[in-house]
Amino acid sequence: MNLIKPDKLKPGDTIGILATSGAIEEKENVLRAKYFFESKGYKVILSDNAFHEYRYLSGTDEEKIEQIHSFFSNNNINAIICMRGGYGAIRLIHKLNYELIRNNPKIFCGYSDISALSAMILKKSKLMTYWGPLAQSDFGIEQPDKLTINSFFEAVTSNMLTYNATKPKIYRNGSAKGILWGGNLSTIVSLCGQEFIPDEDFIFFAEDLCEPVYKIDKMITQLINIDEFTKHLKGIILGDFLGVDNENWLDELFNEKAKELDVPIIGGFNITHAKSKITLPYGAEAEIKNTQLNLKY
């Protein structure tokens, strides 16, 4: 892949906080996130629809698309951090101007529902984005998590990263190389029917929240049933599956898939909806070495 890499974040840069998905639940957190970045010397712009409510969404699709395009085309904005996840990003994928995004590369960061945008931007714009913290739930809380903050700034200012599984679960050991691709499992699966799978070898990463094991099984099986997925899959790294109904069943499922797929599957990385999370360059060159993930970009 001819990957386009955004410029690194520099002191004094401007950060745009963008509402792409669910309506904001805690306005004070967004204002606190704005102050957080300003206190570190960055300039901050909030999207015009930051506090809009359209049913359960942060404004209409048209409002969101206009703001996404405005943020990418604004040469004064150096990085975009999404406000929150939830639901709504998948409504935008057919309305985005991917050429505009490709021609105006910049840091774009978020997780959860934002995985839909990251996957499609990688596929159609060839732009490396970041799976990482959100304004409302990470930067805007009263005591931001140190690992989360440090990992974010390291990721957006570096060219290489190494992460080790903090609570390693080895379903199948080994080494593998490919670009890093994946995200929130249920969001990635919601893209089925689109052209969303990379055209080259990849290491798939996944996490989810409050999904029973049978649904996790169904979602992984749905991906495995896609020829392009299994053709390019070289390894899997797993984050948290918070609120799962049966941990033993989950382990059995991943052991079963490790045998079926015959690729390394390693769990226990801080890829999560929980407070403490790492930031991942989405589309970067990745290598699994036992319980270590090496990234180069």
* pLDDT confidence of residue 141: 97
CA dist., res. 53 & res. 28, Å (int): 16
| Amino acid code (one letter) for 256 | E
Q: Is residue 282 part of a domain?
A: yes
| Amino acid code (one letter) for 143 | Q
Q: Is 48 helix (H, G, I), strand (E, B) or coil?
A: coil
Whether residue 141 is found in the same domain as residue 269:
no
Q: Is residue 1 part of a domain?
A: no
Whether residue 52 is found in the same domain as residue 187:
no
Q: Is residue 107 part of a domain?
A: yes
Torsion of CA 169, 145, 128, 106, to 10 degrees: 180
CA dist., res. 140 & res. 157, Å (int): 21
- What would the mean pLDDT of 48-67 be, rounded to a whole number? 97
Whether residue 135 is found in the same domain as residue 242:
no
Q: Is residue 132 part of a domain?
A: yes
- What would the mean pLDDT of 111-134 be, rounded to a whole number? 98
Q: Give the model's confidence band at 2: pLDDT under 50 very low, under 70 low, under 90 confident, else very high.
A: confident
- Note down the domain range covering 241: 161-296
Choose the final residue of a domain: 125, 158, 191: 158
* pLDDT confidence of residue 275: 97
Percent pLDDT > 90 in the chain is: 99
- What would the mean pLDDT of 189-211 be, rounded to a whole number? 97
Asked whether 37 and 44 are in contact (CB, 8 A), the reply is: yes
* pLDDT confidence of residue 1: 74
| Residue 269's CATH number | 3.50.30.60
Residue 11 is given by DSSP the state T
What's the angle, vertex CA 224, arms to CA 200 and CA 262, rounded to 5? 80
Q: Is residue 278 part of a domain?
A: yes
Whether residue 57 is found in the same domain as residue 31:
yes
Q: Mind listing the pLDDT tens digit for each residue in 35-55?
A: 999 999 999 999 999 999 999
Count of structural domains, the chain: 2
| Residue 130's CATH number | 3.40.50.10740
